[in-house]
Amino acid sequence: MAAPDLLDPKSATYNTKPRLSFSSKPIVYNSGDDCDTITTVMKWKTVVAIFLLVVLYLIIGATVFKALEQPQESSQKYLIVQEKINFLSRHTCVNVSELEDLVKQVVIAIRAGVNPSGHPSNESSMWDLSSSFFFAGTVITTIGFGNVSPHTEGGRIFCIIYALLGIPLFGFLLAGVGDQLGTIFGKGIAKVEKMFVKWNVSQTKIRVTSTVLFILFGCLLFVALPALIFQNIEGWSTLESIYFVVITLTTIGFGDFVAGGSEIEYLDYYKPIVWFWILVGLAYFAAVLSMIGDWLRVISKKTKEEVGEFRAHAAEWTANVSAEFKETRRRLSVEIYDKFQRAAYIKRKLSSELGQNPGQDMMPCKRTLSVNFTDELEKEGLPTLTRNGSLYLNGLTPDCPDHGEISIIEHLK
């Protein structure tokens, strides 16, 4: 039995555990060097959680696109197959394989940027200087429309090298332009804020209004106005223009709509203006997207905080409850042990007085108590848990004929 050890005052000091207090801060159970592992685990968990969120986002997008687009695609397919059948039936001297060959060649040509319909002789090239300039611009800004792309080996190798050097260069430029844009807008907002301060509006409101103003003004200048211009010059619908603006300025650049890519006669300064708009619009979109990213970050931070708080509270609560439980158990076990000792002592005295009566059958009471002895010092100053001389275990009297034998399994901590 470990009990004799506990009565030893020397071992008392080795068994003390830190007392847990009811503090508002999260309680760290373990020692300090576990802290790093806890925060590292949380970071990985955060990243994994966000990653799963992205995958979920992608899957949602995929199902929505599929639901929206597949019917449209099937109807297009049906129409074009009908066209083919009609064509073949109307012009019976053409057989299917010849037509397929022609179509294949035409498709390849289109991919190369050559339009076979119309008059191929007087067309402008896709690789004259201004179009090449535009193409180089799409490569460097990583938009990459793809309506024009290099087809020679040399062109492709050069494209790789060109992009390697050009993308960081454009990054520098974008940083500078964004900076200037920010300064200009900041000065304007400062003036507006001065006005607001006179009216005693709170700081947060000013900030919020300035952000909203920034977004609206930028939208007007870089999205709405160009969309109108494209709608008029290129002949697209409103939705298509806005779609083109967003897809271009986020540098996705599908290439299904390209400003300056159709067969229309453009004014000379149209393409350079488009290029300039792309540059400034990219800076604006960078700001907007980073703002959205910040909001997402703040949301994730708040969620993380709340989750962290919740976990901290849960940990604290668990710690306190188990500490209380241990205390109670320890107190009880110590008292039971005390009572047991006294009972045994009395019994010995009685039996020695009574002489030869050792055979009294003592039915062992089948109650085992597992005790965690933690704090030896507490043993002395605890209130007794007895009433009318009988032992109380959690308020229940043990159903023993003899209150002697209660085996105690004691653990030293």
Q: Shortest approach of other proteins to residue 398 CB, angstroms? A: 54
Q: Is 413 in the site for other proteins (CB under 8 A)?
A: no
Q: Is 250 in the site for other proteins (CB under 8 A)?
A: yes
By C-beta, is 295 or 345 nearer to other proteins? 295
Binders of other proteins among residues 304 to 323 (CB under 8 A) are: 304
CA atoms within 13 A on the CB side of 315: 15
Q: Shortest approach of other proteins to residue 13 CB, angstroms? A: 36
Interacting stretch for other proteins, rule CB under 8 A, among 91-99, 357-365, 379-387, 395-403? 91-99
Binders of other proteins among residues 159 to 188 (CB under 8 A) are: 159-160, 162-163, 165-182, 185-186
Among 14, 16, 34, 65, binds other proteins (CB under 8 A): 65
By C-beta, is 2 or 50 nearer to other proteins? 50
Q: Is 89 in the site for other proteins (CB under 8 A)?
A: no
Binders of other proteins among residues 96 to 115 (CB under 8 A) are: 96, 98, 100, 102-107, 109-114
**Would you state the structure tokens that stand for residue 70, as one six-digit string?**
């597949």
Q: Is 411 in the site for other proteins (CB under 8 A)?
A: no
**Cα–Cα nearest to 49, from 304, 302, 396:** 304
Q: Shortest approach of other proteins to residue 395 CB, angstroms? A: 48
In sequence order, the β-bridge partners of residue 390 are 387
Q: Is 157 in the site for other proteins (CB under 8 A)?
A: yes
Please give the full DSSP string across 167-230, using - where no structure is assigned.
Answer: HHHHHHHHHHHHHHHHHHHHHHHHHHHHHHHHTT--HHHHHHHHHHHHHHHHHIIIIIHHHHHH
Spatial neighbors of 271 by CB under 8 A, at least 6 apart, are 130, 133, 134, 260
Q: Shortest approach of other proteins to residue 238 CB, angstroms? A: 10
* Euclidean distance between CA atoms 371 and 148, whole angstroms: 81
**Would you state the structure tokens that stand for residue 143, as one six-digit string?**
């938009």
Binding mask 339-378 for other proteins (x = CB under 8 A): ----------------------------------------
Among 136, 229, 343, 385, binds other proteins (CB under 8 A): 136
* Euclidean distance between CA atoms 37 and 205, whole angstroms: 40
Spell out the SS3 assignment of 297-364: HHHHHHHHHHHHHHHHHHHHHHHHHHHHHHHHHHHHHHHHHHHHHHHHHHHHHHHHHHCCCCCCCCCC
By C-beta, is 170 or 222 nearer to other proteins? 170
By C-beta, is 185 or 270 nearer to other proteins? 185
Please give the full DSSP string across 81-94, using - where no structure is assigned.
Answer: HHHHHHHHHHSTTS
